Amino acid sequence: MTVISFTQPAERARYQEGAGAQAVPDSKPKVPRETAPAARAATEPAAKTALSLRGVSRRFGEKEVLKGIDLDIPEGQFVAIIGKSGCGKSTLLRLIAGLDDPSSGKLTLGTDGHAHRTRIMFQEPRLLPWARVADNVAVGLTGLSKGAEARETALSLLAEVGLKDRADEWPAVLSGGQRQRVALARALAAKPYLLALDEPLGALDALTRIEMQALLERIWRQEGFTAVLVTHDVAEALALADRVIVIDKGAVSLDLAIALPRPRRHGSADVAALEGRILAALFDEQDA
Amino acid sequence: MQKTGRSFLNNVTGWILPVLILIAWEAASRIGLISPNVLAAPSAVAEAFWRLLLSGELLQNIWISTLRALSGFAIGGAIGLVLGLANGLSSLSRNLTDTTLQMVRNIPHLALIPLVILWFGIDEEAKLFLVALGVFFPVYVNTLLGIQSVDPQLVEMGRVYGMSRSALFFRVILPGALPSIFVGLRYALGIMWLTLIVAETIAASSGLGYMAMQAREFLLLDVVVLSILIYALLGKLADSLARLLERQFLQWHPAFQPA
Ligand SMILES: Nc1ncnc2c1ncn2[C@@H]1O[C@H](COP(=O)(O)OP(=O)(O)OP(=O)(O)O)[C@@H](O)[C@H]1O
Ligand SMILES: [Mg+2]
């Protein structure tokens, strides 16, 4: 249970303005929807809901991995999901991406007609080794366009991620970061309405990661899709997200709006303060 | 330019040893170290080759053997491929047939020769049956293995991106299984020649094996050696062809990429 306590109301107010953040006090056992309006308040009040989860649970056999998650994600929001290993982040993301169905509860994807435009980007690039880079990107256009048209789109997407000159190579000759960029281009090909990302940068080195974060942010701002990013990296979440959700033992334990101006600088004081709070929530410091 | 020069050199290097052996063999035969009753000299083999080539007998027999090999291979390989694909894709099909096939696989197909001669005599069917049976298993087993080892993450990716069943098969599953299928194919080619040699020496009235057996009766050692060499050459040719195809189809594979 995470309640951020402030010694004085004044300090609390200063904190919020300074860091641009609002805490959503978590009440056991779960966060009631009505008491968690902070995140929405941080975005346009009239924004349509891209995704809404109501009491979503997922069990594997005896084990209940997700326990009644309630969540609303407005259109265009960048949400980061953080949690300890094995807490159910990937499970939640697979539900969101429609790869799996909840055991109970309801999951509604925004406006109709967009449902098929959900894309997921995995921790591994999952490129087809036997298809050239451009053809791999064109996989993202399956059912939308073909042949020369698809190739043209693929090339422009590759240019977008800075790999236009590698279009006719095999994935095997690319570096890890480049492969992940191809995977990003593929995920973006269909102009997704919702992009779910499962630790897409987890396997990359620190420098490539920062580069990729900047790329991801730029493309997200340009395309305006709704993004749900699962990550282990608190700094990454703070660099990218409008809102950070901490999952603990299958439930939302912290729902924090991040209203820092973009582009964000790594290592600024505001970021450090927020980082401390998220880490506190992750390690349940207030619980003792 | 430099590259082709280097690969030419590599090719030449590989031939140095065989040529030396050939020269030594010829010399040993000439000075009587190897008796003509044990092994014919290379020159004698070359003479036999020329003689049989002119009479047309050689080409006739090569043609017959090749035809047998290829038709047996086509039949056995096709059945193996289809069953391998079916059992890799459908658990119903696998449950139905795999146990039976794995049991039959344990019978060495050459052990069936007496039975096959009883069934078919020494007609073409006997050879076709044996070759097809021998080729079937490596193709079947490796196709099945190839499909089962396709990365499930890639299959999931294909599904997420809305590939139809046929697109999933042709763009993800089949290419993923192809390296393994090629392994089976090359293994099957070896078995194909082996089976044919045995079948032709035991039960045939034409073909290379038959030619060798006839020559043995008349103590024509040069022809016997010639048949053996031609078998080796045909086997090598088939393998090279398979490698060529492999290189063509598996260009993407790191093992086949120019360094
Ligand atoms: N298909 C499945 N069958 C059974 N159990 C599963 C399955 N998928 C996930 N689980 C279990 O659910 C729990 C949560 O898994 P999940 O992959 O969602 O964790 P995670 O938060 O993504 O962890 P990580 O950060 O290590 O990726 C784990 O205990 C895992 O064993
Ligand atoms: Mg995970």
Was domain A35-114+193-288 assigned CATH 3.40.50.300?
yes
Question: Given an 8 Å threshold on Cβ–Cβ distance, is B156 in contact with A129?
Answer: no
Residue B123 belongs to a domain: yes
Percent of chain A with pLDDT over 90: 42
Gap from CA of A90 to ligand 2 centroid (Å): 4
Percent of chain A with pLDDT over 70: 80
- Res. A15 pLDDT band, cuts 50 70 90: very low
The arithmetic mean of pLDDT across residues B62-75, rounded, is 94
Chain B residue numbers with beta carbons less than 8 Å from the beta carbon of A126 are 153-154, 156-157
Confidence (pLDDT) at B158? 93
> Which CATH number goes with the domain that contains B66?
1.10.3720.10
Confidence (pLDDT) at A29? 42
The structure tokens listed for B44 are 């004698």
Identify which of A50, A17, A56 has the alpha carbon closest to the alpha carbon of residue A33: A56
Chain A residue numbers with beta carbons less than 8 Å from the beta carbon of B254 are 172
Measured in residues, chain B has a length of 259
Question: Given an 8 Å threshold on Cβ–Cβ distance, is B161 in contact with A131?
Answer: no
CA torsion through residues B150, B154, B156, B159, sign: negative
Residue B259 belongs to a domain: no
Residue B9 belongs to a domain: yes
Distance CA A247, CA A245 (A): 6
Q: Which of A124, A142, A173 is opposite residue B163, by nearest beta carbon?
A: A142
Average per-residue pLDDT for chain B? 90
Which chain B residue has the Cα nearest residue A188? B161
pLDDT digits 0-9 by tens, B116-165:
989 988 788 899 999 999 999 999 999 999 999 999 999 999 988 889 99
Question: Given an 8 Å threshold on Cβ–Cβ distance, is B257 in contact with A173?
Answer: yes
- Res. A33 pLDDT band, cuts 50 70 90: very low
Gap from CA of B33 to ligand 2 centroid (Å): 74
Instruction: Using a CB–CB cutoff of 8 Å, tell me whether B42 touches chain A.
Output: no
The arithmetic mean of pLDDT across residues B83-94, rounded, is 94
CA torsion through residues B101, B122, B210, B60, sign: negative
Confidence (pLDDT) at B47? 93
Residue bearing the CA closest to ligand 1, atom 17: A90
The arithmetic mean of pLDDT across residues B24-48, rounded, is 90
Question: Given an 8 Å threshold on Cβ–Cβ distance, is B253 in contact with A129?
Answer: yes
The arithmetic mean of pLDDT across residues A18-40, rounded, is 39
Per-residue DSSP letter, B87: H
- For B179, other C-beta atoms within 10 Å of its C-beta total 19
Is A283 a pocket residue for ligand 1 (Cβ < 6 Å)?
Answer: no
Question: Given an 8 Å threshold on Cβ–Cβ distance, is B254 in contact with A172?
Answer: yes
Which residues touch B168 (CB under 8 Å, ≥6 apart)?
A: B155, B158, B159
- Res. B258 pLDDT band, cuts 50 70 90: low
Interface of B with A in 231-250 (CB under 8 A): 250
Q: What are phi and psi of B90, to 5 degrees?
A: -120, 125
Query: Among the atoms of ligand 1, which is closest to the Cα of residue A87?
Result: 21
- Res. B80 pLDDT band, cuts 50 70 90: very high
Instruction: Using a CB–CB cutoff of 8 Å, tell me whether B174 touches chain A.
Output: no
CA distance to B19, B65, B79, B234, per residue, from B129 (Å): 38, 14, 12, 20
- Res. A232 pLDDT band, cuts 50 70 90: confident
The arithmetic mean of pLDDT across residues B52-63, rounded, is 92
Is the pLDDT at A68 greater than 70? The verdict is yes
Question: Given an 8 Å threshold on Cβ–Cβ distance, is B161 in contact with A97?
Answer: no
Q: What is the pTM of this model?
A: 0.80
Confidence (pLDDT) at A123? 87
For residues B232 and B116, state if they share a domain.
yes
pLDDT digits 0-9 by tens, A112-149:
555 557 889 998 999 999 999 999 999 999 888 888 99
Is the pLDDT at A22 greater than 80? The verdict is no
Number of domains forming the structure of chain B? 2
Gap from CA of A89 to ligand 2 centroid (Å): 6
Identify which of A208, A194, A209, A269 has the alpha carbon closest to the alpha carbon of residue A240: A209
Residue B61 belongs to a domain: yes
> Range of B28's domain?
1-34
Percent of chain B with pLDDT over 70: 97
Is the pLDDT at A20 greater than 70? The verdict is no
The arithmetic mean of pLDDT across residues A202-229, rounded, is 89
Confidence (pLDDT) at A277? 86
Find the ligand nearest to A96 CA.
1
Q: Which residue has the higher pLDDT, A60 or B10?
A: A60
pLDDT digits 0-9 by tens, A179-215:
999 999 999 988 888 999 999 988 888 888 888 899 9
Q: Which of A33-37, A230-234, B237-241 has the lowest mean pLDDT?
A: A33-37
Q: Which of A28-37, B81-90, B101-110, B150-159 has the lowest mean pLDDT?
A: A28-37
- Res. A8 pLDDT band, cuts 50 70 90: very low
pLDDT digits 0-9 by tens, A237-267:
999 999 999 998 889 989 999 888 887 877 7
Mutate to test the interface with B, among A116, A126, A179 (most CBs of B within 10 A): A126
Mutate to test the interface with A, among B161, B168, B170, B182 (most CBs of A within 10 A): B161
Q: What are phi and psi of A147, to 5 degrees?
A: 55, -135
Q: Which of A110-114, B70-74, B191-195 has the lowest mean pLDDT?
A: A110-114
For residues B111 and B30, state if they share a domain.
no
Q: Which of B153, B167, B175 is opposite residue A130, by nearest beta carbon?
A: B175
Average per-residue pLDDT for chain A? 80
Distance CA A270, CA A262 (A): 13
Q: Which of A67, A90, A236 for mutating ligand 1's site (highest number of atoms within 8 Å of CB)?
A: A90
The arithmetic mean of pLDDT across residues B8-31, rounded, is 87
Gap from CA of B258 to ligand 2 centroid (Å): 36
Q: Which of A11-15, A86-90, A280-284 has the lowest mean pLDDT?
A: A11-15
For residues B144 and B222, state if they share a domain.
yes
Chain B residue numbers with beta carbons less than 8 Å from the beta carbon of A131 are 171, 252
Is the pLDDT at A5 greater than 70? The verdict is no
Instruction: Using a CB–CB cutoff of 8 Å, tell me whether B153 touches chain A.
Output: yes
- Res. B5 pLDDT band, cuts 50 70 90: low
Residue A31 gets the label, from left (phi > 0), alpha (psi -120 to 50) or beta, of beta
Instruction: Using a CB–CB cutoff of 8 Å, tell me whether B155 touches chain A.
Output: no
Q: Which of A126, A131, A139 is opposite residue B153, by nearest beta carbon?
A: A126
For residues B169 and B105, state if they share a domain.
yes
Is the pLDDT at B50 greater than 70? The verdict is yes
Domain ranges in chain A?
A: 35-114+193-288, 129-189
CB A109 within 8 A of CB A51: yes
Gap from CA of A90 to ligand 1 centroid (Å): 7
Instruction: Using a CB–CB cutoff of 8 Å, tell me whether B152 touches chain A.
Output: no
- Res. B2 pLDDT band, cuts 50 70 90: low
Interface of A with B in 132-161 (CB under 8 A): 139-140, 142-143
Peptide bond into B152 cis (omega under 30): no
For residues B29 and B68, state if they share a domain.
no
Distance CA B136, CA B142 (A): 10
CA distance B126 to chain A (A): 40
For residues B117 and B232, state if they share a domain.
yes
For residues B109 and B148, state if they share a domain.
yes
Gap from CA of A78 to ligand 2 centroid (Å): 19
Confidence (pLDDT) at A34? 35
